[in-house]
A = this chain, B = another copy of it.
């Protein structure tokens, strides 16, 4: 099943060196979720050939401009393009007021309906379908700020249809899908592995928005498959990172190592770095499975490598 994230923008507050404000698209089994929406996101979507009518859910982490100022333009563009599908927006308190005020002053009556869900606290279930749950994750930033946990659901065992005997009824098939052994109408016991394949282990993607490194984070991060974490600065700027409630590459990497993350993507780079390779160089000292976000690139949420035990260097 597809579970991947495409980076639309990964720079911090300013546009610089061809990098843009934060936005990304999570694809879970062909359902797209837009995460943050900095100014110009609609242009980034056009460039990446992401069709607007595939976006039904938009998650906004916080109300610093580089994370949400493209939202209003997207709302208007959806309207102009004749959208009729409902749009679901999840964001911190105040975002609904900002949207409503601008709709009112433009005297816009949208052709479609916006459902707004306020993110009020950590660990809030925001969205759920048969494939995954999306849950809020409180950040430690200057203003109310939430990351998002995309957690795949446990799928059922897959039946080996060509091997199924006719002596099994509907009830036994359901038991097989749950991973159990069954007894058929002739009294024969079938071991589950004879007739079914186990589902893949559910994966988790975490989008950590702007934040100081999260020492008190819930156990949700433990062993997550892919973590997008900000690394606005390198350690040379430690005091600035602390003052502005951002993280350094070292801090993000140490966090990933401590929590046995499978893979780490760093983003939200400061405009002071034209060349962001020092960010990577610093991080891999602490967590080798680190990559730098690159706009336009798509990153699969990797399965855990069972035999591998990431050494925690910390």
The residues of A with any CB-CB pair to B shorter than 8 Å are 13-15, 39-40, 42-43, 46, 63-66, 69-70, 72-73, 76-77, 80-81, 94-95, 97-98, 101-102, 104-107, 142-143
The residue on B at minimum CB distance from A142 is B107
- State whether A102 and B65 are in contact (beta carbons under 8 Å apart), knowing that A15-B42, A80-B14 are contacts in the complex: yes
- State whether A65 and B69 are in contact (beta carbons under 8 Å apart), knowing that A14-B80, A39-B40, A142-B107 are contacts in the complex: no
The residue on B at minimum CB distance from A95 is B105
- Complex Cα distance, B69 from A72, in Å, reads 8
B107 touches A98 (CB 8 A): no
- Complex Cα distance, B257 from A91, in Å, reads 51
A70 touches B143 (CB 8 A): no
Number of copies: 2
The residue on B at minimum CB distance from A62 is B106
B102 touches A98 (CB 8 A): yes
- State whether A70 and B39 are in contact (beta carbons under 8 Å apart), knowing that A13-B80, A65-B76, A77-B14 are contacts in the complex: yes
Other contacts beyond A39-B69, A63-B106: 4, CB < 8 A: A14-B77, A14-B81, A66-B73, A107-B143
Measured CB to CB, the closest approach of chain B to A83, in angstroms, equals 13
Residue of A64, A95, A102, A107 with most chain B CB atoms under a 10 A cut-off = A102
